[in-house]
Structures are given as C-alpha cells and as structure tokens.
Amino acid sequence: MGLRRIGQWVARGAGLGAAAGGVVLGMAQLHSFRAALPVAASVLCAGGLAGLIAGLRHWPSSLEAARAVDGHFALRDRLTTALELKSSDDTFAHIQRMEAAGRLEGLRLGRSARNRVRWREAIPVALAMAGFLALLTFAGTPPVGSASATSAPDAQRIRTAATFHLPALKRSVESGLSRQQRQFPAVRKLDVALAQLRAQLLRSQSRSAALRSVSLTQQELHQLAASLQPITPQAAAQLNASLSGYMEPKQRNAHGSNSSALATASQTLSRLVERLNHMTPAQRGQLARALARESDKTSDATLRSALQRAASSLATGDPRTAVSSLRKASAALTGSPSAAAAQTRLNAASGQLDSLKYEISGLTGEPRPSIASSGQAGKSGAGGLARSQSNLKGGNGSSRGQAGVRRGQGRGNPAAQGRGSGAGRGSGTGSRIAAGQTGSGGTGGHGTSGGRGSSAFNRRGRYATVYSPSQEQSGPRTTESGPNGQPTLSGIVPYQMVIARYRRSARAALDRSSLTPAQQDTVRKYFSSIAH
Amino acid sequence: MMQPEPLPSSPPVTEEAVGQFMQSARELEAAVQTVIVGQAQVVRETIIALLAGGHVLLEGVPGLGKTLLVRTLAAALDLSFSRIQFTPDLMPADITGTTVLREHEEAGRAFAFQAGPLFAHLVLADEVNRATPKTQSALLEAMQERTVTVGTVTHRLPDPFFVLATQNPLEMEGTYPLPEAQLDRFLLKVLVPFPRPDVLRDIALETLRPSAPVRDVLDGRRLSDMVQVARAVPIATPILDYAIALVVATHPAMTEIEAVRHYVRAGASPRGLQALLTTAQVRALLEGCYNASSEDLRALAHAALRHRILLNFEAQTEGLSTDTLVDQILAQVPLS
C-alpha cells in the first residue's frame, strides 16, 4: 500500500512536472530559449522527485492501511475498530479483536493495495505526459534560431527549410541516378554536405548564420563540381580517332554514339597499353607526339595530365610510367559519365540552394528559381552554340557562344501571363595554337534555367558580353615546349581555377555584405554563368 | 399513584450476554416473521429500534400489517401491552390517566391516580396523527421523559417503555400532522411498503391457515439487558466521523450537496446522530458483527433521518421525498 501510495504521488509529481516541462517546451517554440530541453527535463525530474518525497511523507498510517483492508475485503470495519481498540480491556473490545483476527486469517492483505486506477487522476497525468512527449518529439532537435536575436518566424522558416525543403531538394537532385552513380564519391560527398547543412540549419542561431551555412555549402558544392572534370564524348571521340592509327585494323573501334565514345576511347587506350611493348622506338616517339597533341586538345585536366605524362614517359624511354599513365587515362574515360552526372547534380543542388536562401529569408514573393523546376543542362551547341530550356512554362532562351561567355534572358510567353523565365548561357572555347598546330573548334556550352523572362510578347532576348580573360578565342599565343616538343603548361593558369577563386571571393564577400537576396542572386548567377 | 418497580441495574457486558443478545434477537425476529410475512426489513428495523431503546413510527397505508406487527411484537416480548386508537376527540387524560375520587372504608374518600393506557411496556399509538396536538404533546412527554405528569404529580412509566405509533399517509383530511419536535422523538420512522405479488400469495396462504400462537421470547428484564449490551458495541472513530458527516450533510448551511442546499429547510438534529449510532450498534450485533460499521450506518440512514429532515416548499411542490435526499447524501459524503 505504501509503495502504491508512493507510486501515486510520483505519478502526480511527474504529471505536474510534465505539464510544467510542456509549458517550457511550448514557450521555447514561441520564444527563444536555448536551454528549453534540459530545463524541461529537469522540471519533469523535479516533479517526479517531489512526488517521491510527498509519497514518503504520506506513507500510509496503520489506520489507513486498516481502512484499505476493510474496504477491500468487506470486513465491515472490523480491522479499523480492532486497531482502535487494541489497548482496550473492555469485554466487547476483546471479543471484537478476536473476531476480527479470525476474519483476517487466510486473507492476503497485500491484495488490498491493488485498487483500481483512479481515472480522475490518471487521465490528467497521462495527458500531461503525452503532451510532454509530443512536445519533446516535436522539439527533439535542438531549437532552431533560439538565439535571442532570432525571431520566431525566422526560426520557423529555418526549421521548415531544414526539415522539409532540404530533403526535397536532395530527392529532386538525386532522382534518376543509378546505383553506380549514387556510389560515385562526389555524389556521396553531396549527400554528406546536404546532411551537414541540415544539421547546421537546425543548430543555427540566427538567420544570417543559416544563410551563411547555405552559402558555404553552395561554395563547397561548387568546388566539388569544379574538381570534377568529366571528359566530353567529343574529346573522347577525337582521341579515339587520333590514336586509331596506332592500332591494328582489326582492333580499331568504331564508335557510333556519343555515349559509347568514352568507352571506345577507354578501350583504345587499354589496347594501346597492350601494344606498347611491341612498338619500335620510332613508333613510340610518334605515339608520344600524338599523345602530346591530344593532351593539348582536350580540356579535361585529368585526361590531359595523364596523356601528357604518358607522352613524356614515352619520350624519355620510361614505358612503365607511360603504361600507368595510359591506364589512368583509360580509367578517367570510364568514370567520366558518372563524373558528368555528379557534376550536373552538384551544380543543380548548388542552384537550388538559392531557393533555400529565399525560404530562409522569408522573401517568398521575390522571383527566384524553383526547387522543383530547376533547369536542365542544355545541349551542347555545335561550334559554340548553346541553347537552354527552362522547365518553367513558357520560358526559353538561347545564346550564341562566341568569344567569352554570354548571358541571355529568355523571351516571355504570353500564355504564361508574363512570367516566362529561362536563362540561356552558352560558352564556346575557341581554337588555339599549340606547338605550332592549329586546333579545331571548341565545345559548345550548355544552358541552365533560372533567369527571369520578359513578359513582352515575342520579345527578343538581351545579351550581355562578359569578359573572360583566360578563354581566348583566337590570336597568337606563346606556349613553352618541353624537351621533346611536348607542351608545358607553366605560366598558364586554368580558367576553372581562376574562376573558382573569383567565385569563392565573391561568395565570401556576399556572406559579409548586406545585399538583398535578389542582388546576391544576381551576383551569384553571374559567377555561375562564367564558371563553365 | 401507581409506581412501577424499577428494574435492577443491568450487569456488566459479558461474552455470554453478547451471545445471548444475538440469540434472543434472532429468535425474536424469527418469531415475529412467522406472523408478519414479507416485511423482513420492516420487522428488522422495528426490532432494531426496540433493542436500541427507542420508539418507532410506522407509516403505511391501511391493511399492511402495522398494527399486527406491533401486536405480534407485544406477544413475543411478554410485556404489558396497550393499544390506543387516536381520534380527534381523544384527550390527554385519556392516554395518561387522571385523578379520580375513590372511597375507602377506613380512610374515606380520597383522590387516586387512575393510570391511562400509556402505563404499559409496549404502547401502540394507532393512527397517531388523528389526535389533536394537545394529546400528541402528552404522548411526547411520555416518549421522551418516560414520565407522565398529572396535576402536580409525576408518574414514572414502566421500564422498558416503547411507543410504536402508526400513521396513514393518505387520508390526511382531518388529521394533525405530527410536529417536528414530536417526530424527532421517534428513533426510527419505518415505512411499510406494499408487499410484492409473491409475498401477497404467502400472506393469503397464511391467512387461510389457522394462526399459531406466538411464543414468548423475551421478558422485560432481558430486553433491558439487551439494550445495555447493544449500547456497548464499539464504534471506531472513522465510523463516528462518518455518522457525523452524514448528519451534517443534511443541513443546507453546512453542506456542499446542491440538492440539500436547494430543498432542505432544516436538517437532522443531534438526536438523529444518536439514533444513527445506537441503531447501528444493534444492527451490527444482528449481523453477527461486534462493531458498528459504516455499512450499518448506511443501512439505517433512511429510517433514522427521513423524519428529521424538513423539506422546503419547493421540494414539496416538486414531490421530492427525504429518502431521495438521503440517497444523494449517502452518494456524496465520502467514507473517511
């Protein structure tokens, strides 16, 4: 009975503690209170402890126990009376005690403690506990924006962005990826980066901190995307064509489609490795020069580096290094589709994080790119022509890649009631002279969506020319040559490296600046447009 | 003047006396129930009132056996019995007795007290509400003080002295409802209900059979002893507190029970508490228990309190009975 009494008091105390803790948690959802969770837990524990103390203080007296036994076993108050008359010498008292003792024989007095649950008490306690657990579950993650500087709407927006929009973004970005592509390191790094961003958002102390986290993640994704340099099918096809002369006719691969060009080129390099031991020194020299030429033609750093190293090794009579380099080049070609997919997703994710910034900023009325309708990569334009399409209804844009990067705004479609959108970006790399040879036309750019369209009917796009110092279209150029005629790249800074540096600086400046999200978006788009 | 001989003081309660109480009470109950069929609770409550030393008011429509019950009790108790039929022209002297002039050969003429029918151990006051208040007041003094005052002389009534009054709740025309003060003198007010059909069958069969004489079970001395034994039955403090709480709950100014506050004009008197406790003691022994319990209190609450609660006009217009209020009190007063 005593234990039951203690249990009742502990339940009461815990119920009160849960109610108070629930109030604390509830208030923490409305106002900033960083220590809400520990305080609520402490209040709950304190309630339970207070109940325990109260239960000990209300330990049932012998009279209460007697009353309970009388009530439970329907003893007609025999035990109560006997207890009261225990010191009486009266005849009746004696008879009564004897009779009560006889009645008690064989009874299991402990059963008298098993009273029914008092629903009038149990229901409020259960409700309080359930409410506390519900609030605890709802606020199980650390309170967002709980710093005193963060307002409740900001915190709510950050929580919503972290809880709903970010997972949606992740699903959107990674949709359509094969299992192999999902296992690609860059995609896994994308997962990790988004997960870290979610955690950072949930821990954010302010809106600016949340925005900074998003910006840093964008920067990270940009860097990751920039580090991926997938080999284009055209480059692979050209490599295959150049090296096919060093293969026997029966081993020559004919590639039909762009998708198989990479695999074909990879096989060509693999077979070239097999034939390397049977080549004469003269053939090796010719192969070295051919590799040097191809390395100069390709824009892919990995392939270029591998080819250059192979050419250099063959030229210096180091076939082992040459074999290793060629295998590395072959591997780069094999993994290039996954890298391309990863790069596309990384860029898409980075772009969609802009929308997240709008969500966090609360600027839902501002024009912004939609998470669910991100633009897809445009087709490669022949001779530098790029065309982009937007998923948004009615918007399209086109640009013509010439010297440098062009940025265009699409034409509005009247059917979309003036809300056309689409940004066409095209970039073209011109030919250049390497080692006295003239190169062919560069690859076309690609387009992404996200721009604003004009609402004027049939209005033509406007273009802005952006100067890109490292992307020269034509003209004389001085390059250094190695001892065997292979080119060296000392003194040449790759465009991607420069633009990545610029972009980092710009993003860092944006994070520190007080520009509006729309203005920040403009700057960000500019750097995104010149990144390719 | 006739002075009854006082009974010797009762011996202290012994185990044997307690045992005899239980046996005699059961015999008395069984003896009465051989005649009074199907009214077990009425018989039980009436016997409880007798063994508690109190008077009983029996209320019921004519023909339910109220008078027969009292007569059977008198037969079983081997006590002097008198029956008074109360009528509007009944005078106090008619029941108490009066002083008459008597002539003695030696002393000549002298006034002497001629005892009335009240001077009996068991008095049946039939249709007590038909007498005038003046006569009812004479009965009141006898019931409470157990004495009768005629002129300047007070005469003591025999011991034990029990009044069992009956009244008819229907024919109220030309009656004088008993005043609250007099109602309070009755230890219990027992309602005699109309018997169930199966009981009616037993009554009919019993009527057709030749009636068997009721044997004496108790005499006056043993009855007084039993009253003393019952008074010694212990009552634990929580039970006493519960009885007090029940009585307090009948007072509109002292309770939170809404019905009582709304419909009751006056609650039960302390005598009601005494009635509850003393009758609970007797009932405990009749139930084979050596202590009064809350169950006894609850069983006797209606009989002990129903005539002590005075309803207001609103309750009367709504047809509310005191039994309904007692039910609510029992339901809402917690057992400590």
Residue A437 has pLDDT above 60, yes or no: no
**Per-residue pLDDT at A419:** 37
CA-CA distance, A169 to A179, in Å (whole number)? 19
Chain-centre distance for alpha carbon A152: 25
Residues on A contacting B at a C-beta cutoff of 8 Å: 63, 67, 71, 76-78, 80-85, 88, 90-96, 99-100
- Whether B159 maps to a domain, the answer reads yes
Residue of chain A whose alpha carbon sits nearest to that of B288: A99
pLDDT band at A501; cut points 50, 70, 90: confident
B241 and chain A in contact, CB less than 8 A? no
* B235/B121 same-domain check: no
Find out whether A477 and A454 touch, Cβ atoms under 8 Å. Answer: no
pLDDT above 70 as % of chain B: 96
Could B238 and A92 be called an inter-chain contact, meaning their C-beta atoms sit closer than 8 Å? Answer: no
Residues B51-62 pLDDT 10s? 999 999 999 888
* B106/B235 same-domain check: no
Mean pLDDT across A420-436: 38
* B163/B268 same-domain check: no
Q: What is the DSSP string of A381-443?
A: PGGGEEEEE-SSTT-EEEEE--BEEEEEEPBP-GGGTT--B-EEEEEE----EETTEE-----
Using DSSP's 3-state secondary structure scheme, residue B235 falls into strand
Q: Within chain B, where are the H helices?
A: 15-35, 40-51, 66-77, 92-96, 133-145, 180-183, 197-208, 220-231, 237-248, 258-263, 270-286, 294-305, 313-317, 322-332
**Per-residue pLDDT at A178:** 80
CATH number at residue B326: 1.10.8.80
| Stretch (H or E) spanning B109 | strand B108-115
* B181/B234 same-domain check: no
* B25/B150 same-domain check: yes
**Per-residue pLDDT at A248:** 63
Please name the member of B233, B237, B335 whose beta carbon is closest to the beta carbon of A92.
B233
Q: Which pairs from B313-316 meet CB under 8 Å and 24+ separation?
A: B314/B262, B314/B263, B315/B262, B315/B263, B315/B264
Least confident of A400-404, B75-79, B164-168, B222-226: A400-404
**Interface test with chain A among B242, B290, B295, by most A beta carbons within 10 Å:** B290
pLDDT above 90 as % of chain A: 1
Residues A308-334 pLDDT 10s? 888 888 877 777 888 888 888 787 777
* β-sheet bridge partners, residue A404: A428
Domain end residue (candidates: B168, B193, B218): B193
Residues A73-130 pLDDT 10s? 888 899 999 988 888 888 888 888 888 888 888 887 766 665 566 777 788 888 888 8
B289 and chain A in contact, CB less than 8 A? yes
Least confident of A8-17, A331-340, B15-24: A331-340
**Per-residue pLDDT at A250:** 58
Residue where the block lists tokens 């008011």 = B57
Find out whether B248 and B47 touch, Cβ atoms under 8 Å. Answer: no
The DSSP symbol for A161 reads I
pLDDT band at A492; cut points 50, 70, 90: low
Residue (of A303, A347, A360, A363) closest to A328 by Cα position: A303
Q: What's the longest Cα–Cα distance across chain B?
A: 72
Residues A365-392 pLDDT 10s? 444 444 333 333 333 333 333 333 333 3
Which residues of chain A does B336 touch, with a Cβ-Cβ cutoff of 8 Å? 67
* Token pair recorded at residue B43: 């018989």
* B182/B248 same-domain check: no
| Stretch (H or E) spanning A157 | helix A152-160
CA-CA distance, B223 to B15, in Å (whole number)? 17
Residues A33-56 pLDDT 10s? 667 778 888 888 888 888 888 888
Residue B90 has pLDDT above 90, yes or no: yes
Which residues of chain B does A90 touch, with a Cβ-Cβ cutoff of 8 Å? 13, 232, 234
Residue type, B99: T
pLDDT above 90 as % of chain B: 55
Residue (of B334, B182, B189) closest to B275 by Cα position: B189
Residue B272 has pLDDT above 90, yes or no: yes
**Per-residue pLDDT at B28:** 92
**Per-residue pLDDT at A31:** 64
Please name the member of A71, A76, A81 whose beta carbon is closest to the beta carbon of B234.
A81
Residue (of B253, B334, B251) closest to B294 by Cα position: B334
pLDDT band at B50; cut points 50, 70, 90: very high
Using DSSP's 3-state secondary structure scheme, residue A297 falls into helix
pLDDT above 70 as % of chain A: 65
CA-CA distance, B48 to A485, in Å (whole number)? 133
Q: Buried b / exposed e across A462-476, counting CB within 10 Å, b at 16+?
A: ebeeeebeebbeeee
CA-CA distance, A221 to B50, in Å (whole number)? 102
* Cα dihedral sign, A271-A275-A277-A279: negative
Domain end residue (candidates: B169, B193, B217): B193
* Token pair recorded at residue B231: 């008074």
Q: What is the DSSP string of B8-20?
A: PPPPPP-HHHHHH
* B326/B255 same-domain check: yes
**Per-residue pLDDT at A37:** 77
Using DSSP's 3-state secondary structure scheme, residue B167 falls into strand
* Token pair recorded at residue B175: 């009656």
* B30/B179 same-domain check: yes
* B22/B75 same-domain check: yes
**Per-residue pLDDT at A252:** 55
**Residue B40 belongs to domain spanning:** 13-193
Residues B171-226 pLDDT 10s? 777 788 888 888 999 999 999 999 888 888 888 887 787 777 788 888 888 898 99
**Per-residue pLDDT at A481:** 45
Shortest CA gap A80–chain B (Å): 7
- Whether B77 maps to a domain, the answer reads yes
B14 and chain A in contact, CB less than 8 A? yes
* B32/B138 same-domain check: yes
CA-CA distance, B121 to B140, in Å (whole number)? 16
Domain count, chain B: 2
Find out whether B302 and B289 touch, Cβ atoms under 8 Å. Answer: no
Strands B264-266 and B122-126: unpaired
Mean pLDDT across A483-498: 57
Find out whether B16 and B226 touch, Cβ atoms under 8 Å. Answer: no
Domain end residue (candidates: B193, B214, B248): B193
Mean pLDDT across A448-459: 37
**Per-residue pLDDT at A532:** 60
* Token pair recorded at residue A423: 């940004």
Please name the member of B15, B294, B336 whose beta carbon is closest to the beta carbon of A91.
B15
**Per-residue pLDDT at A363:** 65
Residue A1 has pLDDT above 70, yes or no: no
Give the highest mean pLDDT range of A69-78, A156-165, B44-53. Answer: B44-53
* B276/B145 same-domain check: no
Residue A447 has pLDDT above 60, yes or no: no
Q: What is the ipTM of this complex?
A: 0.81
Shortest CA gap B295–chain A (Å): 7
Residue (of A135, A164, A505, A528) closest to A360 by Cα position: A164
Please name the member of A71, A83, A92 whose beta carbon is closest to the beta carbon of B290.
A92
* Token pair recorded at residue A450: 């996200």
Please name the member of A80, A90, A99 whose beta carbon is closest to the beta carbon of B236.
A80
B287 and chain A in contact, CB less than 8 A? yes
Give the highest mean pLDDT range of A386-390, A511-515, A518-522, B14-18. Answer: B14-18
**Per-residue pLDDT at A333:** 78
* Token pair recorded at residue B28: 């008395």
A–B interface: beta-carbon pairs under 8 A: 68
Phi and psi, residue A107, nearest 5°: -85, 140
CA-CA distance, A5 to A115, in Å (whole number)? 11
**Per-residue pLDDT at A2:** 65
Residue A514 has pLDDT above 80, yes or no: no
What value, to the nearest 5°, has the Cα angle with vertex B271 and ends B267 and B274?
120
Which residues of chain A does B232 touch, with a Cβ-Cβ cutoff of 8 Å? 90-92
CA-CA distance, A124 to A11, in Å (whole number)? 10
**Per-residue pLDDT at B132:** 92
Residues A264-311 pLDDT 10s? 877 888 888 877 777 888 888 888 888 888 777 776 777 777 788 888
Residues B24-41 pLDDT 10s? 999 999 999 888 888 899
Q: Which residues contact A315 (CB under 8 A, 6 or more apart)?
A: A285, A288, A482, A483, A484, A486
Could B289 and A99 be called an inter-chain contact, meaning their C-beta atoms sit closer than 8 Å? Answer: yes
Find out whether B291 and A78 touch, Cβ atoms under 8 Å. Answer: yes
Could B284 and A76 be called an inter-chain contact, meaning their C-beta atoms sit closer than 8 Å? Answer: yes
Q: Is A459 exposed, middle or buried (0-12, 13-18, 19+ CB in 10 A)?
A: middle
Please name the member of A63, A81, A91 whose beta carbon is closest to the beta carbon of B291.
A81
Using DSSP's 3-state secondary structure scheme, residue A299 falls into coil
* B37/B167 same-domain check: yes
Q: Is B199 exposed, middle or buried (0-12, 13-18, 19+ CB in 10 A)?
A: middle
More confident residue, A274 or A514: A274
Residue A145 has pLDDT above 80, yes or no: no
B22 and chain A in contact, CB less than 8 A? no
Could A91 and B14 be called an inter-chain contact, meaning their C-beta atoms sit closer than 8 Å? Answer: yes
Residues B274-316 pLDDT 10s? 999 999 999 999 999 999 999 999 999 999 999 999 999 999 8
